[in-house]
Amino acid sequence: MTALCQLVVLLAAQVQRDEEGPLPVPGTLWHWQNWSWELSILLPLFIMLIWYLIGAARRGRQMALGKRHFAFAVGWTSLFFALISPLHRLGDVLFSAHMLQHELLLLIAAPLFAASHPGVTFLYAMPRKARQPLGAWIAKAETDMPLSMIFSPLGAFLLHAAALWLWHIPYLYQATIESDFIHALQHLSFFLSGILFWSAVFGAGRSTMTYGLGVLYVFGAAASCSALGALLTFSSVVWYPIYSDRTQLWKLTPLQDQQLGGLLMWVPSGVVFILIGMWLFARWLNTAEQRLQHGVLGELPAGKEHI
């Protein structure tokens, strides 16, 4: 037993560091060295923020924009926390921490960005002469094949599901831990596919998704995410051996860490999807009531029939 304990201590000592420096352990997680102050991450985040602030200032103070600005602010803050805070570094040690980071990207940052409908605000940040031709080009690109298929509700749903499942294939997932470039590509694909999906659900751009169809897609995405989470939770096989000599730093076995990550993907994500689905369902019922009040089933005043 003593020899086994010594072996565990020896193995822990060997993985106290990786190519990025000391690995986070209990008691040192929030140390400054565990924050990711990489210029390649910070610069795009702050360019996005400044760009939005310029556009918001030029659009002026409109009461209708208050909620959208708030959604963008919270979404940007959650994105900053997911990519810069020690949670990012902890993902190199614990699979469950990496899953929590992905939840922030897919279920907090992405839907909030989509709900803020930032496209027009970003356009206002451009020089006045460039706004109309750029807006016209974007509108044309969204209606041309094959981009129109990508921006369609079905295309957005399939891309969102594909990004989730493909990146959790063991070979691809472990490559993200070994390569910063592939890791960045994974996060970018999660975030962009998430924005695309939630934008379609919330009716941004040229989406014609009705509330009822939105409910179906949201619960479809919930089923996809929950299925993957359940597989990870109930599997008796460690999918990602790269964590095998790291989880002990946090007093978890690799399988316990994997099961915790699966639960995080399964339960909290399911709650978020259900809440958004219930909100859409309530709006759907409200729309149906308005149709009855207007006396014409299937028709609404302009601007009322879509999300």
pLDDT digits (tens, 9 = 90+) for 26-56: 888 888 888 888 888 899 999 999 999 998 8
What pTM does this model have?
A: 0.81
pLDDT tens across 211-225, in order?
778 888 889 999 999
Q: What is the pLDDT of residue 30?
A: 85
pLDDT tens across 113-136, in order?
998 888 888 888 888 777 777 777
Separation between Cα atoms, residue 52 and residue 60, nearest integer Å: 12
Q: Which residue has the higher pLDDT, 173 or 132?
A: 173
Under the banding of pLDDT at 50, 70 and 90, the label for residue 188 is very high
Beta partners for residue 18, in sequence order: 21
User: What are the sequence ranges of the domains in the chain?
Assistant: 34-294
Q: Which residue has the higher pLDDT, 11 or 260?
A: 260
Instruction: Say if CB 35 and CB 84 are below 8 A apart.
Output: yes
- The token pair at 95 is 């699979």
Q: What is the pLDDT of residue 268?
A: 86
Q: What is the pLDDT of residue 145?
A: 66
- The token pair at 147 is 């981009």
DSSP 24-77: P-TTTTTSGGGS---HHHHHHHHHHHHHHHHHHHHH---GGGHHHHHHHHHHHH
Separation between Cα atoms, residue 135 and residue 226, nearest integer Å: 38
What integer best gives the mean pLDDT of the chain? 82
SS3 152: coil
Separation between Cα atoms, residue 209 and residue 200, nearest integer Å: 7
- Range with the lowest mean pLDDT among 43-57, 82-96, 292-306? 292-306
